[in-house]
Chains A and B, each alone.
Chain A
Amino acid sequence: MAQVTITVNGKNRTAEVEPRLLLVYFLREQLNLTGTHVGCDTSQCGACTVLIDGRSAKSCTLFAVQADGSEVTTIEGLADGDQLHPLQDAFWEEHGLQCGYCTPGMIMSAVNLLSDNPSPSEPEIRHGLDGNFCRCTGYQHIVNAVQHAAGTASKE
């Protein structure tokens, strides 16, 4: 067992974990943050995407011990109190989700995308979400949502 201290959604979490424990299962099963999902076992689908030190990362591709000392933000920590993050609001506004399973990871990737490129073109959005699969929406409303959030951001 190994001890890890990870700041998750602003709270310090210290735990004893097996070295092989994936970060996603640490979040889901030890911290009960089940908004981060597991959609594959080969690091393609992106359902498990979280922010680590502000950058998007697939939490099924890291061991919890590798995140020791870092700051992790999950979907549960994205809103500012009752105030939804502009991307959460945009996904709602633009019907950017159906079953909702890919949505947390998709939103976290989009957060990273917009922080790198606040005014992406449509092709830049489509390529920027390459690491996240959605089987329900055909992506069009997801693209609309990211555009919506980018527009909102530029107005602010």
Chain B
Amino acid sequence: MAASPVLPKLVGQRVKRREDPRLIQGLGTYVDDIKLVGMQHAAFKRSDLAHARILSVDVSEAESMPGVEAVFTGAQIAEFVAPMPIGTPFPSPDHHAVAVGTVRYVGEPVAVVVATDRYVARDAADTIVIDYELLPAVVDPEQAMTGQPAQIHADFENNLAVALVPSGTGVSADLQTVDDTAVDKAFADADVVVSQRMYNQRLAPTAMEPRGVVAQYEPGKDTMTIWSSTQNPHILRSFIAALNGMGQDQVRAIAPEVGGGFGAKINIYGEEYVVAALSKRLGIPLKWAEDRSEAFLATTHGRDIIGYLDLAATSDGKVLGMKLQLIADIGAYNMLLTAAIPTLTMMMANATYDIPAIRTTLTEVFTNKTPTDAYRGAGRPEATYFVERGMDMLARELGMDPGELRRKNFIQPDQFPYATQMGAVYDSGDYEKALDLGLKNAGWDELKQQRDAARAEGRLVGLGLAMYVEVCGLGPSSSLPTGGWEHSQVTIERDGRISATTGASPHGQGNETTFGQMLADQFGVPLEHVTIHHGDTGVVKQGIGTFGSRSQAVGGTAIHLAGGKVKEKMAKFAAALIEAHEDDLVFENGRISVKGVPDSGKTFAEVAGYAYVPVPLPEGLTPGLSEEAFFEPANNTYPFGCHISLLEIDRDTGEPTLLKLVAIDDAGNLINPLIVEGQIHGGLAQGIGQAMIEEVRFSEDGQPLTASFMDYAIPRAADFPRFELDNTVTPTPVNPLGAKGVGEAGTLGSTPCIVSAAVDALSEFGVKHIDMMLRPEKLWRIIHGGQS
């Protein structure tokens, strides 16, 4: 028999993505590419006021236009679509998919048109006349907390969505008793205290594919199929079923090719409920495709949290205590995870440090703005930013090197698992190792000399450093209201090919490649023989979705476990077929053979074929090779790293230029380093974007000022230097892969390290802190003493 070709091990290799051939040829199918027979188009008429009472909605002209099938106002929609559910246990005001009685942000839907094509639907929506009574717009969250200038929701006095929740040292588990003794003592004992109000500004997630949804209700079968640009089709299915009075068995949700999500496509949106409900009511397939202007108004925003930080330390740089008062501006409504996002900022207040006493408080405030929800990093970049900026201020105050100050306060490797003051249990870490590699790769001491030499020439150059730790791989079900597990089914087909499903529905993460690599190695078959199915609840039995850097750590582990189960069964069939003991068998190079005798045994396909026509059927076996696994980790994972930047500010114009960015990331074991690099690059780009050019702004009357790409700057290729990446590897004990997750990492260290570099560059002007983003005008005013 000819020797089988030797298949290389793929896990840990830079394998080219299997998703790419279709995408580079324009052959991917995104939601707006879907056409169904008889499909009509929906368009939403949206509020152009931030806060107003709806007095009347005149749809008569729209209804009379040729091609218009139907028009519904919010009140009419409310007759058959219940207020939208949320995914957190926090109290929440009624939120109708289409506004009833009052509009509370610019962009809130007021009516919906269904017509034969998208142009007609939009034309008709434009003719709808709404008579409003203007109400005062609530824009400033700190003013809103006093109930001024208006109360947005009837049952939420002082606009408080979440009122002053304490956490940290001396707070009882039920949050009912707060003992400040330890925190007060830390501050009393301190030689130095730094205090700063900081603002982590509002951002627009801005996936390049706006949202979109197609729904097809089939009355004969009483089933619904909904295609949506979503990160979590299974959650979508549950919610769509519930709001349409259908069972989850009657609804099939499909996330086809999804053009980015970044957290904003976790939420289940009003447009999804309405399109599904109208498809059912009108008996037609229906599509809605968001345009970019709508996306800036109606897709959830991220961040928008104020932090009041106090840091107490000894004169030699040991941090004794921290106070962090958080005020989150969540916009007009609670969405799926809105209220939970800032709690992650509280949870990560320890950062990478062993801090004896911490007190945080969290207040969440309604304002007349687009609601917030998850955005890449979701609460953790905010925590990292506040604490790392604080550490930088402390280093500056003490005249210490920022790296040395951090070294002095790190949680040490022998302290893991480390239970923080904030209730997290960090799984594993070696922060000093990441710091040392960062300092070495950046050439920290030489960079300091370069900076000083540049300064001697009158240039404004600064260095910044930040450490981060994030919470990923969510998580046990106790940490996620949707359930914190993932599911997979691995099937060896009759021809020996492998089909595997994953509930971790990707939108650019490359799971078809990484999960394929794992299974190819596990079974010793070529990667081309493995197909990963995802994003379709009709094919993938169960799942949660892709967010919180969880797809590898949780979804990948489910694949690994399901694969292990089916491999065990397949070994039994192989053992019977080749008359060997199953423990002596190896799966490699497309064969199952006796260890050390590669040409013994049978091909993978021969064993698969036997398993489906098992004559004779081995004792104790049932036919077939298909096994499933749910995996729920016992804990989250806690990836970490160190980011260093060098930045120059033009003295004449105030324009900042990022000259260098070094990122050390530790995501545990890596399946595909090429894909990991891509994830880190993307996260860095969004973090640098936040630090330097991105900000959602509103006018005093709640009008969005940044509602197109003309006004909201997302980074372009020329905005970045070449990123310099490296990694340390500290596997997690939380899952058998040792993988921690990497999707959000880049957004964490980048913001504080860049702002700290800007503060360093402007140190000659005595500046202590600069709020993001680093608008040239703001920097110019610091340089030129506020004189214009």
Listed in ascending order, the chain A residues whose CB lies under 8 Å from chain B are 18, 20-21, 25, 28-29, 32-42, 44-45, 47, 74-76, 78-79, 84, 88, 91-93, 95, 97-104, 107, 122-123, 125-127, 129-130, 132-143
Task: Rank and list the top 7 A-B pairs by shortest CB-CB distance, nearest first.
Answer: A35-B26, A101-B259, A100-B23, A99-B508, A138-B685, A138-B681, A98-B508
A122: nearest chain-B partner, CB-CB: B722
CB distance from B696 to the nearest CB of A (A): 15
9 A–B contacts from the bound complex (CB under 8 Å): A29-B35, A42-B710, A76-B26, A99-B207, A126-B720, A130-B718, A135-B208, A136-B208, A136-B682
CB distance from A30 to the nearest CB of B (A): 11
A44 touches B20 (CB 8 A): no
A92 touches B21 (CB 8 A): yes
State in angstroms the CA–CA spacing of A91 and B508 once bound together: 14
A38 touches B722 (CB 8 A): no
Q: A34 is contacted by which of B33, B678, B720 (Cβ under 8 Å)?
A: B33
The secondary-structure label for the interface of chain A is loop
B708 within 8 A of A: yes
State in angstroms the CA–CA spacing of A74 and B25 once bound together: 9
State in angstroms the CA–CA spacing of A95 and B674 once bound together: 7
A99 touches B209 (CB 8 A): yes
State in angstroms the CA–CA spacing of A102 and B30 once bound together: 12
The secondary-structure label for the interface of chain B is loop
The number of inter-chain residue pairs (CB within 8 angstroms) is 182
A138 touches B23 (CB 8 A): no
A134: nearest chain-B partner, CB-CB: B208
Given A101-B208, A138-B684, are A38 and B709 neighbors across the interface (CB < 8 Å)? no
State in angstroms the CA–CA spacing of A20 and B118 once bound together: 13
List B residues 1-36 near A (Cβ within 8 Å).
16-17, 19-30, 32-33, 35
B678 touches A137 (CB 8 A): yes
Q: B119 is contacted by which of A20, A32, A130, A134 (Cβ under 8 Å)?
A: A20
B723 within 8 A of A: yes
B716 touches A129 (CB 8 A): yes
CB distance from B649 to the nearest CB of A (A): 20
Given contacts A100-B259, A135-B262, 18 further A-B contacts (CB under 8 A): A20-B119, A33-B26, A35-B28, A37-B208, A39-B208, A41-B293, A95-B16, A95-B677, A98-B678, A99-B258, A107-B24, A125-B717, A134-B208, A134-B717, A136-B678, A137-B678, A138-B720, A138-B746
Chain B residues with Cβ under 8 A from A25's Cβ?
A: 118
Chain B residues with Cβ under 8 A from A38's Cβ?
A: 32, 291
State in angstroms the CA–CA spacing of A132 and B685 once bound together: 15
Q: B717 is contacted by which of A39, A76, A98, A129 (Cβ under 8 Å)?
A: A129
Q: How does the 8 Å CB contact mask read for B669-709 relative to A, with 1 for contact and 0 for none?
A: 00000110110011111100000000000000000000011
Q: A97 is contacted by which of B23, B206, B262, B685 (Cβ under 8 Å)?
A: B23
Chain A residues with Cβ under 8 A from B675's Cβ?
A: 95
Listed in ascending order, the chain B residues whose CB lies under 8 Å from chain A are 16-17, 19-30, 32-33, 35, 118-119, 206-210, 257-260, 262, 291-293, 507-510, 674-675, 677-678, 681-686, 708-710, 714-718, 720, 722-723, 746
A127 touches B718 (CB 8 A): yes
A44 touches B685 (CB 8 A): no
State in angstroms the CA–CA spacing of A117 and B564 once bound together: 52
State in angstroms the CA–CA spacing of A110 and B525 once bound together: 37
Chain A residues with Cβ under 8 A from B678's Cβ?
A: 95, 98, 136-137, 141
Given A75-B25, A125-B717, are A140 and B208 neighbors across the interface (CB < 8 Å)? no
A142: nearest chain-B partner, CB-CB: B717
B26 touches A98 (CB 8 A): no
State in angstroms the CA–CA spacing of A119 and B710 once bound together: 31
State in angstroms the CA–CA spacing of A138 and B262 once bound together: 14
A75 touches B682 (CB 8 A): no
B24 touches A103 (CB 8 A): yes
B33 touches A133 (CB 8 A): no
